Amino acid sequence: MDTRTGLPVVGMVGGGQLARMTHQASIALGQSLRVLSVSPDDSAALVAADVRIGTHTDLAALREFAKGCDAVTFDHEHVPNGHIAALAAEGVKIYPGAEAIVFAQDKQRMRERLSELGAPVPRWRAVSSAADVVDFAASLAAAGTAVDASAAGGSGAGWPVVAKAVRGGYDGRGVWMLGDAAAAEELVATGTPLIVEEQVPLRRELAALVARSPFGQVAAYPVVETVQRDGICVEVLAPAPGLSEERAVEAQQLAIDLAHALGVVGLLAVELFETDAGIVVNELAMRPHNSGHWTIEGARTSQFEQHLRAVLDYPMGDTSPAAPAVVMANVLGGPAGGMSIDERLHHLFADDPGVRVHLYGKQVRPGRKIGHVTVLGDDMTSVRARAARAARRLQEGE
Amino acid sequence: MDTRTGLPVVGMVGGGQLARMTHQASIALGQSLRVLSVSPDDSAALVAADVRIGTHTDLAALREFAKGCDAVTFDHEHVPNGHIAALAAEGVKIYPGAEAIVFAQDKQRMRERLSELGAPVPRWRAVSSAADVVDFAASLAAAGTAVDASAAGGSGAGWPVVAKAVRGGYDGRGVWMLGDAAAAEELVATGTPLIVEEQVPLRRELAALVARSPFGQVAAYPVVETVQRDGICVEVLAPAPGLSEERAVEAQQLAIDLAHALGVVGLLAVELFETDAGIVVNELAMRPHNSGHWTIEGARTSQFEQHLRAVLDYPMGDTSPAAPAVVMANVLGGPAGGMSIDERLHHLFADDPGVRVHLYGKQVRPGRKIGHVTVLGDDMTSVRARAARAARRLQEGE
């Protein structure tokens, strides 16, 4: 409790853009987010009043940080699970808890648990040798579930297979397409703990975002379509165009069931593949998620406020959309040179006064997520075109 | 320019809730508002990363504060006009400038200038003696413009008259209803520089909010109705219900004309009386204004972002409403005792998950503005009822 205001203090471990936008949301609730940041120049550290410098792998720093916090939560999944368990054992209200967040930290544990729960997942296997990978590919070929190998660039029946690092991957990192036994051999030799999965014949990717409080109240956002390029989310369309009501409810229900079953407190983003046969779970995240940035203006309650409400055990906010069509487009750092980011912003504002801009205060580096734009409107096609054009202007200064 | 981000630095003098919400808006633009605050516990100082402690009447503190700012602006009108002029002469980009903000600082200068410009104003006079006030009341009686004296509680023809302190009044302070010569005598004796005005037979109060950039671009928000109680704004209805398109455009055009004529840079809020005969100007404010808080969720661009865009000479943002009916209700500090503000918030969130809450981090004191709530919807009557109910819950904990 902040004695100056009579309102709670939430601490967020990590100083990235998620913490930055959570701080923005906390201001409306009369709070000021406490941020544990590696550097004073991190995205959230540039804007928050209460910043502690420290690393998320340092238990002593986490312990000190948590003192006086009514709840502690995360900007990322990289806090060691044992540290989270240790803090909880000492009485810190830390959400999501160690026994929940492990499923967002460890893809093998996630796949095991989801399989146990009967949730739809791709065929997968934990592997420790190239022979395991070859065997898995052969099993896919035998089951006839693999996509057409020649079309997908594989070297034969069952190939390619998708290999994922069990821990630490994000934004396309930690994911490899293995076309043959030789590629498998090479990857396994690096010593990275791996799982392999079938390449799902997807139509598109979707995401279902829910929040759950310790009390057990759950709120679900409309299901969105996420558009990826090189493994990085570039666009989110809300709601997912042409998604049947039946499938939308199925995806929301799946996310709600998982939030309860895994004991998640806070946000749970379920990344989904949509196939001809239905939906399968790709990844889980338990924090504000890129697929939910559209909610800042596009939903009555933003995901950032919702996450704060959840970890503080406040009743959940209204997740209704604020417009029939909402598109969020990520802004990646463009090539060096040319117009400054400030000049680009001038041009964008002159070009389209209705675009909502979110810049993260990050140094521009090629390919780095430096911000996002959101456009609201009645017609998805025109809204999408405006968002893409705006993101391009900020990215390339064209 | 912040060298860490390549984006501009705006400094705001004053650490109240307007600076707090401007900081929130600045975060989206990749910035972090620099705040000059009297105390580290001020509303904005609790949430902003870059807070300098100092008083707005200290020219040396202002000069130091302005160093490195791309633009300096204000949370209130209490910075001495000469200090603003001095900083501008030294090359500081300070908006609105001294020659504009004087009309928001000095009611006599404002009335003089508006009269010169032919803008609609109440009959008024600068007074220095009780005899001046008596003479003014007599002139109203002679002109037949005074409201019915018995109905308004005055003691005779021409009374009551409205007396206003030339400088320093706000939220009902600095305004007096004078019922007779004796009351005038008493007030004049305090030595406060005064103007007197006719009591306008108003139907209701309106506000027209515009922003103007140094380049001269102007953007106007929908005209709103403001509802006052004891001189304090308690509710804002956007758009003003039942206002004819013709009168709405007239009010917007008046605000635009005044912004240009007075050389305003940043926001200009024109508080208006609507009478049977038309609109007349009550007050001017040149900063984010309580009548514009609804824009945070209720318009595509909030007044806070718009003010930043204006003082930085960015192109103006879209002022379109985000819903057919938007109501903002102020939350005042309630009586001591009873539920804490945090408990009240729990109850409110449980009662209405769609209400948007903004708490200012202020100690609760009876009658003090400690936050506001905003509700969006299709029907003004139900939206208004929800907003009033929400404000009451936070105020009284009922």
Length of chain B: 398
Task: Specify the residue for token string 């008046």.
Answer: B254
Structural domains in chain A, sorted by start: 10-94 (3.40.50.20), 123-198 (3.30.1490.20), 202-396 (3.30.470.20)
* Mean pLDDT calculated for residue range A53-63: 98
Judged against a pLDDT cut of 60, whether residue B256 lies above it is answered with yes
Chain B residues near residue A41 by CB distance under 8 angstroms: 4
* Measured distance CA(B16)–CA(A41) in Å, rounded: 26
Token pair belonging to A82: 């044992």
Nearest CA in chain B to A348: B315
- The model's pLDDT over B109-122, given as tens digits with 9 standing for 90+, comes to 999 999 999 999 99
- The ipTM, to two decimals, is 0.95
Q: Is A383 on the interface with B (CB under 8 A)?
A: no
Q: Helix A341-351 and helix A380-396: axis angle, to 10°?
A: 150
Q: How far is A209 from chain B (nearest CA, A)?
A: 17
- Using CA atoms, how far residue A158 sits from A141, A149, A155, A188, B275, in Å, is 4, 7, 9, 18, 80
Q: What is the mean pLDDT of chain A?
A: 94
Q: With an 8 Å Cβ cutoff, are B4 and A28 in contact? A: no
Selected residues 50-109 of chain A with any CB under 8 Å from a CB in chain B: 51
- The model's pLDDT over A211-240, given as tens digits with 9 standing for 90+, comes to 999 999 999 999 999 999 888 889 999 999
Q: How confident is the model at residue A149 (pLDDT cuts 50, 70, 90)?
A: very low
* Measured distance CA(B299)–CA(B277) in Å, rounded: 30
Q: With an 8 Å Cβ cutoff, are A29 and B376 in contact? A: no
Distance of CA B194 to the CA centre of its chain: 21
Chain B residues near residue A46 by CB distance under 8 angstroms: 2, 4-5, 32, 49
| Amino acid code (one letter) for B334 | G
Q: In what order do the strands lie in the sheet with B194-198?
A: B124-127, B194-198, B161-165, B175-178
Output the pLDDT for position B156.
Answer: 67
* Mean pLDDT calculated for residue range B332-351: 91
Judged against a pLDDT cut of 50, whether residue A23 lies above it is answered with yes
Interface test with B, best of A17, A20, A46, A312 (most B CBs within 10 A): A46
Q: Is B227 on the interface with A (CB under 8 A)?
A: no
Output the pLDDT for position B363.
Answer: 86
* Mean pLDDT calculated for residue range A70-88: 97
Q: With an 8 Å Cβ cutoff, are B29 and A359 in contact? A: yes
Nearest CA in chain B to A300: B354
Strands B71-74 and B124-127: unpaired
Burial group, residue A169, by CB count within 10 angstroms (0-12, 13-18, 19+) = middle
Least confident of A151-160, A218-227, B126-135, B323-332: A151-160
Nearest CA in chain B to A47: B49
More confident residue, B103 or A233: B103
Q: With an 8 Å Cβ cutoff, are B6 and A364 in contact? A: yes
Cis peptide before A335 (omega within 30 of 0): no
Q: Where is mean pLDDT largest: A214-228, A327-341, B144-158?
A: A214-228
| pTM as predicted | 0.96
Query: DSSP assignment, residue A2?
Result: B
Q: With an 8 Å Cβ cutoff, are A357 and B45 in contact? A: no
Judged against a pLDDT cut of 60, whether residue A271 lies above it is answered with yes
Output the pLDDT for position B170.
Answer: 67
Output the pLDDT for position A111.
Answer: 98
Q: With an 8 Å Cβ cutoff, are A30 and B6 in contact? A: no
Q: Is B372 on the interface with A (CB under 8 A)?
A: no
DSSP string covering A32-75: --EEEESSTTSTTTTT-SEEEE--TT-HHHHHHHHTT-SEEEES
- Using CA atoms, how far residue A350 sits from A345, B217, B316, in Å, is 8, 11, 8
Judged against a pLDDT cut of 50, whether residue B149 lies above it is answered with no
Q: Is B191 on the interface with A (CB under 8 A)?
A: no
CB atoms within 10 A of CB A118: 8
User: Which residues make Cβ contacts (< 8 Å) with residue A264, sequence separation at least 6?
Assistant: A96, A100, A212, A258, A286
Q: With an 8 Å Cβ cutoff, are A354 and B320 in contact? A: yes
Least confident of A335-339, B41-45, B107-111: A335-339
Q: What is the mean pLDDT of chain B?
A: 94
Cis peptide before B96 (omega within 30 of 0): yes
Share of chain A above pLDDT 90, in %: 88
Q: Is B309 on the interface with A (CB under 8 A)?
A: yes
Q: Is B345 on the interface with A (CB under 8 A)?
A: yes
Q: How far is A324 from chain B (nearest CA, A)?
A: 12
Judged against a pLDDT cut of 80, whether residue B193 lies above it is answered with yes
Output the pLDDT for position A113.
Answer: 98
Burial group, residue B193, by CB count within 10 angstroms (0-12, 13-18, 19+) = middle
Q: How far is B224 from chain A (nearest CA, A)?
A: 21
Q: Where is mean pLDDT largest: A145-159, B150-164, B288-302?
A: B288-302
* Pick from B20, B350, B356: CB nearest A27: B20
Task: Name the region of B242 (left: φ>0; alpha: ψ -120 to 50; beta: rest).
Answer: left
* Measured distance CA(A104)–CA(A106) in Å, rounded: 6
* Mean pLDDT calculated for residue range B124-135: 96
Q: How confident is the model at residue A170 (pLDDT cuts 50, 70, 90)?
A: low
* Measured distance CA(A307)–CA(A313) in Å, rounded: 10
Judged against a pLDDT cut of 60, whether residue B148 lies above it is answered with no
Output the pLDDT for position B171.
Answer: 66
Chain B residues near residue A34 by CB distance under 8 angstroms: none
Chain B residues near residue A24 by CB distance under 8 angstroms: 24, 27-28
Q: Is A266 on the interface with B (CB under 8 A)?
A: no
Q: Is B29 on the interface with A (CB under 8 A)?
A: yes
Q: With an 8 Å Cβ cutoff, are A314 and B346 in contact? A: yes
